[in-house]
Amino acid sequence: MAFPQGWPPRAASGRRSIRFYRTGTATANYDSNAFLFYDDIGANVVAPLPYVAPGSVTPVHVGGVAFDTAASPPVYGSGSPSGTGQNAKDAAPREHANAPYTSEAAPKPQIWANTIVVRNKGAGALFISFDGTNDHGRLLAGEVREFRQRYEAGIAIKGDGATPDFEIEAW
């Protein structure tokens, strides 16, 4: 059967829903199964804008829409891409207006999920962490935990002695 006309669906305007799905086997450490949603190609709905050096007047083409950096007022396209934070080539921002610029790298871009579902598909207990250090949930064998309205940019999973299989969905 063919996909219906209009497939794939357009991205929502005003809100962007990520689509993250991962399965695996837990180990005793959170760092073995730590996932940032931004790093998952299927989840990341934000296309980065091309780099434009400060002061450049070179036209930039994004998805067939020309962004003329010399135009006044600027010409903007609509929809994605919508940028993903700073570019590492730019100076890091100042925390306060009078503070000196730093040489720190720009922070890694992130995307956040609204709802996260974790399933323990194994025999042992499964622990969930959103910071990689503290336990934020424990699932016994066969349990499912759903986090609604919890805006997180990643998740880490570990097992309790055994190595339970897990399944993570986030949107």
**Which of the 8 DSSP states describes residue 51?**
P
Q: Note the pTM of the prediction, 2 decimals.
A: 0.67
Q: Which residues of 21-44 are buried (b: 16+ CB within 10 A; e: fewer)?
A: ebeeebeeebeebebbbbebeebb
Tokens of 129: 């962490």
How confident is the model at residue 71, as a pLDDT?
Answer: 47
What is the torsional sign of CA 130, 135, 140, 145? negative
Cα separations in angstroms, 117 against 22, 59, 137, 146: 11, 43, 12, 4
State phi, psi for 30 to the nearest 5 degrees: -65, -35
Give 142's contacts (C-beta < 8 A, 6+ positions apart): 120, 121
Buried b (16+ CB within 10 A) or exposed e, 79-98: eeeeebeeeeeeeeeeeeee
pLDDT tens series, the chain, 171 aa: 787 787 777 655 556 678 899 999 999 999 999 999 988 877 777 666 677 777 888 877 665 545 454 544 444 434 445 554 456 566 555 565 565 555 555 667 788 888 999 999 988 999 999 999 999 999 999 999 999 999 999 999 999 877 889 999 999
Domains of the chain: 20-44+111-170 (2.60.120.10), 58-107 (no CATH)
